[in-house]
């Protein structure tokens, strides 16, 4: 029996059907080779027809007002389809950062564009090791703020219309908005292992910026947003793990050796069984994390790190075993197994690897 409501299951089915039609493997391969990294026509459809970017944004800011659980269901299906899109950057990172701020004016002005999909936004916070530091300095001038410095590994940073940048002001880390095309911004696309998720380094040279909320408030916002991002990412990873498990078991049933399906061999049975355990464990962890995120429970920090550390390793292990089950063909460029393998590895590292999150848990528990 499903733990989700009929309405939530209907949402899942609608998104899955849409992605089966618009994001088959051939489209994923075509889009990941482009500079944009996503198909504008598909983005327009999922925005205008399905309203997915604004799913969890309150109605007062132009969204549909659903919860984080519904958002995670959508991400799971996107992960299963390997959809190349700025959804994680815009609908999760940027939208969550604005929602977590206390700047009502900025919310009313900026969130409707994100919700409608007409504005692609992202959050720039990391240094060259993937952690936050003061590498971007915010200087207050009579005309407003200017930013100078650099941010690294910014999701969809080269094509975002709106950059939300964490920078150090006089009162501490603060959140700023920078519009696309602002003078002094340069974006440098990165060559990444996972071609389905574009990243860029951004350099700011006295760039005019708008303060979001109060000076010194970004530390708390960033911590909250990254926890939500971890929850979103593990649910996306569950979709990918589910897809590779299906690939492996289907091949095990259909591939014959010595007149028998290879799935009848004990070694392959054990691999598929281990994959199933990993996928089901990941599903439980991810769904629980989504429920905690939706409820606003104080345990979010713990649950997000637990889920991120477990699911990140599980997805990567399942993706690797899928290649082993397929044998030689699984190593070829023509087979989709490597696409999921690369997505699994990048997702394992994004927003902190398993060791980082276990360290956070140890510190939280005083170990």
Q: Decide if 144 contacts 210 (C-beta within 8 A).
A: yes
pLDDT at 77 over 90: yes
Superfamily designation of domain 220-364: Butyryl-CoA Dehydrogenase, subunit A, domain 3 (1.20.140.10)
Position 222 confidence tier, pLDDT thresholds 50, 70, 90: very high
* Residues 203-206: contacts with CB under 8 Å, at least 24 apart: 203/149, 203/150, 204/136, 204/147, 204/148, 204/149, 204/150, 204/151, 204/165, 204/178, 205/148, 206/139, 206/146, 206/147, 206/148
What average pLDDT does this structure show over 16-33?
A: 97
Position 131 confidence tier, pLDDT thresholds 50, 70, 90: confident
Superfamily designation of domain 121-216: Butyryl-CoA Dehydrogenase, subunit A, domain 2 (2.40.110.10)
179 burial (CB, 10 Å; 0-12 / 13-18 / 19+) is middle
Position 1 confidence tier, pLDDT thresholds 50, 70, 90: low
> Which one-letter DSSP state was computed for residue 88?
I
Q: Decide if 196 contacts 38 (C-beta within 8 A).
A: no
The domain segmentation of the chain, as residue ranges, is: 6-116, 121-216, 220-364
Backbone φ, ψ for residue 173 (5° rounding): -55, 130
Position 352 confidence tier, pLDDT thresholds 50, 70, 90: very high
What average pLDDT does this structure show over 117-130?
A: 94
**Angle (deg, nearest 10), helices 300-326 and 218-254:** 30
What average pLDDT does this structure show over 260-279?
A: 94
Domain 6-116 class in CATH: mainly alpha
Structure tokens at 139: 């200087």
Strands 199-212 and 144-155: antiparallel
pLDDT at 256 over 90: no
DSSP element (H, E) containing 54: none
């Amino acid at each position: 029996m499903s733990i989700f409501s009929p309405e939530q299951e209907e949402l899942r089915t609608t998104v899955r059907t849409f992605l089966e039609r618009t994001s088959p493997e051939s489209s994923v391969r075509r889009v990941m080779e482009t500079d944009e990294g996503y198909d504008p026509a598909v983005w327009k459809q999922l925005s205008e027809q399905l309203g997915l970017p604004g799913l969890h944004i309150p109605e007062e800011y132009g969204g549909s007002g659903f919860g984080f659980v519904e958002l995670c269901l959508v991400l799971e299906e996107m992960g299963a389809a390997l959809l190349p899109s700025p959804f994680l950057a815009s609908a999760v990172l940027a939208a969550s950062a604005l929602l977590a701020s206390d700047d009502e004016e900025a919310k009313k002005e900026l969130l409707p564009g994100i919700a409608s999909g007409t504005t692609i936004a992202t959050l720039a916070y990391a240094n060259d090791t993937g952690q936050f530091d003061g590498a971007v300095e915010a200087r207050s001038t009579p005309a407003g703020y200017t930013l100078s410095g650099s941010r690294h590994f910014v999701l969809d940073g080269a094509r975002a219309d709106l950059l939300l940048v964490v920078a150090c002001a006089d009162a501490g880390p603060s959140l700023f908005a920078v519009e696309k095309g602002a003078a002094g911004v340069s974006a440098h696309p990165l060559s990444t292992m996972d071609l389905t998720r574009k990243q860029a380094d951004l350099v700011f040279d006295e760039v005019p910026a708008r303060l979001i909320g109060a000076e010194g408030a970004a530390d708390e916002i960033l911590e909250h947003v990254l926890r939500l991002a971890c929850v979103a990412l593990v649910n996306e990873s569950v979709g990918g793990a589910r897809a590779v498990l299906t690939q492996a078991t289907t091949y095990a049933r259909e591939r014959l050796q010595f007149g028998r399906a290879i799935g009848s061999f004990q070694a392959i049975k054990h691999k598929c069984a281990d994959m199933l355990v990993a996928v089901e464990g990941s599903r439980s962890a991810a769904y629980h994390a989504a429920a905690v995120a939706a409820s606003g429970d104080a345990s979010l920090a713990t649950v997000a790190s637990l889920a991120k550390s477990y699911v990140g390793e599980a997805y990567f292990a399942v993706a690797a075993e899928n290649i082993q089950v397929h044998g030689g063909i699984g190593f070829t460029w023509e087979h989709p197994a490597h696409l999921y393998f690369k997505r699994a590895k990048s997702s394992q590292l994004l927003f902190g690897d398993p060791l980082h999150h276990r360290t956070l848990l140890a510190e939280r528990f005083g170990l």
